[in-house]
Amino acid sequence: MMIKAYRFIKARDYLMRAVFMLCAAFSILALACICVFLFVSGIPFIGRIGFSNFFGTTWHVDSQAYGILSMIVTSLYLTALATFIGVTTGLLTAICLFRFCPKRLIPSIRQMVNLLAGIPSVIYGLFGLIIIVPFLRDYVSPNSIGFGLLAASLVVSIMILPTIVSVSLDALNAVPRSYYEGSLALGATSEQSVFKVVVPAARSGILAAVVLAIGRAIGETMAVIMVIGNSPVMPHGLFQSVRTMTANIALGAKELGGDAATALVSTGVVLFIFTLLLNISFNLLRGGEKREKKRTQKTDT
Amino acid sequence: MKKNAHKRQILKFAVLKNITRAALLVSLIALVSVVAFILIRGLPHINMQLLFGEYTSRSPSLLPAITGTLYIIVISILIAAPIGIGSAIYLTEYTNSKSRLIRIVRIAVETLAGIPSIVYGIFGYLVFVVALGFRYSLIGGGMTLAIMILPVIVRSTEESLLAVPLALREGSFALGSSKVRTIFSVVLPCAASGIVTSLILAIGRVISESAALLMTIGMVVNKVPENFASPGTSLALNVYYFGSHGYPEEAAATAVVLLVLVMSINILATALGKFFGKGELAHG
């Protein structure tokens, strides 16, 4: 009797273990499926229409020109610009919240920033469409076009701001207080200690914030599509209608069929490869940093 | 001479300090103005017709979008929650962190978290819309989002499982409980608040998402979906649709609805976390 019950429990343990394992394996399966489906339908297409066509500069579906080079360039410009604006402002904001702002304001500002991090990207896009684009058109743009790289970069940088602030603030807070105090004890001012000691010590966390920002900027679709104008041409200025890879995919999604739809998948493959490269290089960087830390710890002891 | 240089350096950093203050101000103004302008533009246009009325091209309504959003939340959470919680249990309870499978799962989860939502959209389009023959449908969109929110659920559930003290598990084993019993009657109840919070945050992600849905559910804004298999739309998608099809007032009003929804979900999650956090302290 007892043995039977014991066997039942044992069997249940094995069964549940298998179930949990399957759940865990699902993530691997999903990732594998995404890779297989994208690559199987995207890569052969690039081979078929020719490498030079696909990485050319003309996107004209009717004449079967599927060149996405201009969109790759636009995506990279947008990412660079938005990350630059967002990270500079966000990092400086985090430093200010870390040491240079009245203590009692900090909790409420943090809470606000966390809340704003959850705002859907499409709302930022709408904000860009009804506020930023008309403003740029009327007051800033030399050719009275509001759409373009600048509008998109501003929208995306505002969108990624809360994430950057909270991730880099966490990184700054994770630096042991003794670093700061030690620097003060050596005669540095509070500002010098923050900029020369605490910020460099938090660099791996700040790097994580930058990588997050780049990832979100290059993959952002809805906020960009509403403010960038969406003409598939090479970007030559900040106020000119251009199109990113993400916008290309989203725009064609419902209209195009056949070859053109496959061209969208291939665009997705290129985007996917960009994000994979970003993740891999970040992991390598982080791995290097960890090893470095271990080494310094060893030499310490 | 030396003293001068020293003074200059101190001055330089004092200037930097004020630059950071300016940056804080700029960030706050930018973020507050997003919320403020959306509210100013949208609030006057919210009315019963917009929220629950019959859809006509002259006076659009959000009823199809609200129904669609609910369908998608239900589908994606029903799929992603069991799988996500199950994988988190496997990652924390079953093996030591050095096992190869665990390393691969972790890499997979991290990679999934980094994939842009539009790429999930393409995947959903290829698999659910085309290969499985669902056409544009709510269920295809919900399944796509389920895969997308999986990493969110896995990570945060893992965190709340890790926060359960080892001593509780050991105590349960010492009383003769099996592994499964320990997990279900000791570990999971202790981590329940964290898991619920993570599910609420996942719902927030689902509501906010639009790019992946654009490619999978069809953006049919004028018809209330009949069932899981019919095409539909979501609130976030409606903001895009109204914004780019000449309904700026409706777009702003929809954005207000969406904003209020997402904000209250996030506030609810934070409040729950705090509430249960206190409770756990009292127990411990």
A23 with B86: Cβ contact below 8 A: yes
Q: What CATH number should be reported for the domain holding residue B232? A: 1.10.3720.10
Model pTM?
Answer: 0.89
φ, ψ dihedrals at A271, nearest 5°:
-60, -45
Distances (CA, A) of A49 to A250, A256, A259: 21, 17, 10
The mean per-residue pLDDT over the stretch A100-122 comes to 88
Collect all residues of chain A within an 8 Å Cβ-Cβ radius of residue B19.
92
> Measured between alpha carbons, how far is B279 from B283 in angstroms, rounded to an integer?
6
Residue B239 has its nearest CB partner, among A24, A96, A123, at A123
Average pLDDT for chain A: 88
B218: phi > 0 → left, psi -120 to 50 → alpha, else beta; which? Answer: left
What pLDDT is attached to residue B53? 80
Q: Is the domain of B92 the same as that of B18? A: no
**Distant-in-sequence, close-in-space partners of B32: CB < 8 Å, separation ≥ 6:** none
> Measured between alpha carbons, how far is B176 from B195 in angstroms, rounded to an integer?
26
Q: Is the domain of B26 the same as that of B59? A: no
What pLDDT is attached to residue A301? 43
CATH class label, A59-300: mainly alpha
**Distant-in-sequence, close-in-space partners of A137: CB < 8 Å, separation ≥ 6:** A144, A145, A146
What pLDDT is attached to residue A124? 94
Q: Which residue is closest to A19 within chain B, CA to CA? A: B86
What pLDDT is attached to residue B223? 84
Q: Which amino acid, A77?
A: Y
**Distant-in-sequence, close-in-space partners of B112: CB < 8 Å, separation ≥ 6:** A27, A30, A31, B147, B148, B150, B151
Contacting B residues, span 42-81, partner chain A, CB-CB under 8 Å: none
Cα A195 from chain centre: 26
Above 80 in pLDDT, residue B277?
no
> Measured between alpha carbons, how far is B251 from A259 in angstroms, rounded to an integer?
33
What pLDDT is attached to residue A65? 83
- Please tell me the distance in Å from B115's CA to the nearest CA on chain A: 7
Q: In this structure, what token pair is assigned to residue A37?
A: 């489906």
- Tens digits of per-residue pLDDT, B226-248? 888 888 899 999 999 998 888 88
The mean per-residue pLDDT over the stretch A248-268 comes to 84
What pLDDT is attached to residue A145? 86
Q: Is the domain of B14 the same as that of B113? A: no
The mean per-residue pLDDT over the stretch A112-130 comes to 91
Above 90 in pLDDT, residue B106?
no
Residue A191 has its nearest CB partner, among B17, B23, B211, at B17
Q: Is the domain of B153 the same as that of B134? A: yes
SS3 of residue A14 by DSSP: helix
The mean per-residue pLDDT over the stretch A84-111 comes to 91
Residue B131's Cβ-side half-sphere holds a number of Cα atoms within 13 Å equal to 12
A17 with B179: Cβ contact below 8 A: yes
Q: Is the domain of B69 the same as that of B17? A: no
**Distant-in-sequence, close-in-space partners of B107: CB < 8 Å, separation ≥ 6:** none
What pLDDT is attached to residue A292? 64
Q: In this structure, what token pair is assigned to residue A168?
A: 């880099």
Q: Is the domain of B41 the same as that of B53? A: no
Is residue B84 classed exposed, middle or buried when 0-12, 13-18 and 19+ CB atoms within 10 A define those classes?
buried
What pLDDT is attached to residue A76? 95
> Measured between alpha carbons, how far is B241 from B258 in angstroms, rounded to an integer?
14
Above 70 in pLDDT, residue A112?
yes
Average pLDDT for chain B: 88
> Measured between alpha carbons, how far is A216 from A236 in angstroms, rounded to an integer?
24
Above 60 in pLDDT, residue B281?
no
Domain count, chain B: 2
Choose the mutation target among B3, B8, B24 for the interface with A, i.e. most A CBs under 10 Å: B24
Q: Report the C-alpha dihedral over residues B111, B117, B118, B120, rounded to 10 degrees.
A: 60
What pLDDT is attached to residue B146? 95
Using a CB–CB cutoff of 8 Å, tell me whether B161 touches chain A: no
> Measured between alpha carbons, how far is B116 from A263 in angstroms, rounded to an integer?
18
Using a CB–CB cutoff of 8 Å, tell me whether B94 touches chain A: yes
Q: Is the domain of B76 the same as that of B213? A: yes
- For residue B56, how many other CB atoms are within 10 A of its CB? 10
Residue B125 is classified by DSSP as I
What pLDDT is attached to residue B278? 55
The mean per-residue pLDDT over the stretch A20-33 comes to 92
Q: Is the domain of B127 the same as that of B17? A: no
Please state the ipTM of this predicted complex: 0.89
> Measured between alpha carbons, how far is B251 from A34 in angstroms, rounded to an integer?
33
> Measured between alpha carbons, how far is B61 from B52 in angstroms, rounded to an integer?
6
What pLDDT is attached to residue A92? 94
Cα B155 from chain centre: 13
- Tens digits of per-residue pLDDT, B38-90? 999 999 988 888 888 888 877 888 889 999 999 999 999 999 999 999 999 99
What pLDDT is attached to residue A246? 93
Angle of CA points B98, B104, B110, to nearest 5°: 110
Q: Is the domain of B21 the same as that of B155? A: no
What pLDDT is attached to residue B1? 55
> Measured between alpha carbons, how far is B255 from A226 in angstroms, rounded to an integer?
14
SS3 of residue B218 by DSSP: strand
Q: In this structure, what token pair is assigned to residue A196?
A: 């020369």
SS (H, E, C) A143-201: CCCCCCHHHHHHHHHHHHHHHHHHHHHHHHHHCCHHHHHHHHHCCCCHHHHHHHHHHHH
The mean per-residue pLDDT over the stretch A104-112 comes to 88
The mean per-residue pLDDT over the stretch B17-37 comes to 92
Cα A105 from chain centre: 29
B34 with A19: Cβ contact below 8 A: no
Using a CB–CB cutoff of 8 Å, tell me whether B112 touches chain A: yes
Residues facing A229 on adjacent strands:
A242
> Measured between alpha carbons, how far is B176 from B188 in angstroms, rounded to an integer?
18
Distances (CA, A) of B39 to A113, A123, A133, B45, B260: 18, 11, 18, 10, 10
Q: Is the domain of B30 the same as that of B127? A: no
Q: Is the domain of B165 the same as that of B147? A: yes
Of the candidates A39, A132, A246, the one whose C-alpha atom is nearest the C-alpha of residue B214 is A246
H or E stretch including A59? strand A59-60
Q: Is the domain of B12 the same as that of B85? A: no
- Please tell me the distance in Å from B179's CA to the nearest CA on chain A: 6
What pLDDT is attached to residue A95? 93
Domain that holds residue B20: 2-45
The mean per-residue pLDDT over the stretch A77-102 comes to 93
SS3 of residue B148 by DSSP: helix
Choose the mutation target among A26, A135, A158 for the interface with B, i.e. most B CBs under 10 Å: A26
The mean per-residue pLDDT over the stretch A187-199 comes to 91
Contacting B residues, span 197-256, partner chain A, CB-CB under 8 Å: 204, 207-211, 214-215, 218-219, 236-237, 239-240, 243-244, 248, 251-252, 255
B24 with A96: Cβ contact below 8 A: yes
B118 with A271: Cβ contact below 8 A: yes
- Tens digits of per-residue pLDDT, B154-182? 999 999 999 999 999 999 999 988 889 99
What pLDDT is attached to residue A296? 60
**Distant-in-sequence, close-in-space partners of B99: CB < 8 Å, separation ≥ 6:** none
Above 60 in pLDDT, residue A297?
no
What pLDDT is attached to residue B97? 59
B139: phi > 0 → left, psi -120 to 50 → alpha, else beta; which? Answer: alpha
H or E stretch including A218? helix A203-219
The mean per-residue pLDDT over the stretch A239-253 comes to 89
B126 with A276: Cβ contact below 8 A: no
